[in-house]
Amino acid sequence: MHNSKNDERRSFNILGKLFHVRIDDLVQYPNTLLADSQRLQAYWRPSLNAYFLSRDVHIFERIILPFYTSSTSSNKIKRLSTMSFSDKLFREELEFYNLLEYYQTDDNLNFIFEYYTQSSSIISLLSRLLIRKCICWCIIDCVSCIACAIGICEIVLWRCQYQRSINLLIVDIIISLILLWTLFYEQYSDRILLEINFYMRNKLDEEVKNQIRRKTSMTERFIIIGSFQSPVFIIQLIFASLSFIITLLSYKRKNTWYFILGLAFRHLLLIRLCLTEMCHIIDILSYSGRSSFRVFSHLLLFLVTILFICIWIGLTLYVTDSNSTIDQPVILAPSRYVYFVYHIILNVGYGDTTERSILSFILIVIMTLITCPLLIIIYQNFIQELNL
């Protein structure tokens, strides 16, 4: 548990994945396993400092993170239609956690899908689109990895002063075009899925709509976020386009920077494969104004504090060395003193990181910021604040 009195949390380890849930949220469900501290003692693991449960991680994610609400008017858990597991499996997990009494089905959505289950054409179309979407995911990830491998081979051959192979360049261009086409086709599939969903909601007969109105309220706002609306897609599209353009420009150029930039954009495309959670956070922040402001304000406060401390202490050291009575003191530029303090604050030896160019200097600054323990703690607090 966390030591904060105002925001005390209970830690759950579900097959290796750690979750922190506010105890104040669990109090709303007193008859559940998660809220009963005595029953949970059987699952306590001191080595993990958490309650270990060998259950389905994805279902636990959807039970705990998006569906718990602090509202006193509706403390119900809703099941989204986009879940990939069956309703039976979902109910079994709810029974284990004693949460079944708090389970609330989306009658509006369920009625619509039941109304259209007789249409085999819609079911067939949905199946094909979902299969194509999964294939697009695999193609994008595989092509991104292959593009990075080709980029590394090209820069190695270039540095070894070998003549660039025209066949390798053609393969590189074809792979880039496949990547761009797959990105757009993925968005096309998402648009069709959204159109079907809206069609199923909006093209109902008046009789069906009246039945739905009697069951549930139709005043709820219906929001769907497709991946083509995601900022991650825009970032991927920019990186893929720049990588393709730089590949074409580098064929007639003799500058190594073209290879370095092209390779950098290729590796940035792997963010989707390696940092899926970060991509999810970017999407959430883009559609949550208050959370975005809170998260970025904390991050900017951290960066500004580091910058202020480095400048203030660095200039103090510079003035001290300038007024030193030692014969012929070696006085460095003020920026070097600031850079020296930056390394000391972030627990990195100044002599261990010696830059040779502007690019290496930028990479050193980014890497030292990422490895900063304080930044890691701030990132964990961001995740907890956003309930991810």
Q: What is the pLDDT of residues 157-176, one digit of tens each?
A: 766 666 667 777 788 778 88
For the ranges 23-27, 72-76, 353-357, 371-375, the lowest mean pLDDT is seen at 72-76
Does the residue 2 lie in any domain? no
Does the residue 265 lie in any domain? yes
Provide the β-strand partners of residue 78: 104
Within this chain, do residues 47 and 156 fall inside the same structural domain, yes or no?
no
Q: Determine whether 172 is exposed, middle or buried from the number of CB atoms within 10 Å of its CB (0-12, 13-18, 19+).
A: buried
Within this chain, do residues 177 and 99 fall inside the same structural domain, yes or no?
no
For the ranges 151-160, 187-196, 254-263, 274-283, the lowest mean pLDDT is seen at 274-283
CB 243 within 8 A of CB 262: yes
Count the domains in the chain: 3
Other C-beta atoms lying within 10 Å of the C-beta of residue 50: 19
Band of residue 255 on the pLDDT scale cut at 50, 70, 90: low
Whether 328 has a pLDDT exceeding 80, the answer reads no
Average pLDDT of span 16-45? 81
Q: What is the pLDDT of residues 35-52, one digit of tens each?
A: 888 888 888 988 888 888
Distances (CA, A) of 328 to 85, 205, 276, 315, 380: 74, 91, 55, 20, 49
Whether 203 has a pLDDT exceeding 80, the answer reads no
Q: Domain boundary at 76, 105, 134, which?
A: 105
Which tokens go with 187? 């968005």
> SS3 for 104?
strand
Residues 6+ apart with CB under 8 A from 171: 150
CB 384 within 8 A of CB 277: no
The rounded radius of gyration (Å) of the Cα atoms in the chain is 27
Q: Report how far Cα 372 is from the mean position of its chain's Cα atoms.
A: 20
User: Which helix (H) or strand (E) covers residue 44, if one does?
Assistant: strand 44-45
Band of residue 315 on the pLDDT scale cut at 50, 70, 90: confident
Does the residue 3 lie in any domain? no
91: domain CATH number is 3.30.710.10
Band of residue 54 on the pLDDT scale cut at 50, 70, 90: confident
- Alpha carbons 26 and 84: distance in angstroms, whole number: 26
Does the residue 284 lie in any domain? no
Parent domain of 237: 120-278
Residues 6+ apart with CB under 8 A from 257: none
Nearest to 281 by CA among 230, 319, 229: 230
Judge if pTM exceeds 0.75: no
Band of residue 132 on the pLDDT scale cut at 50, 70, 90: confident
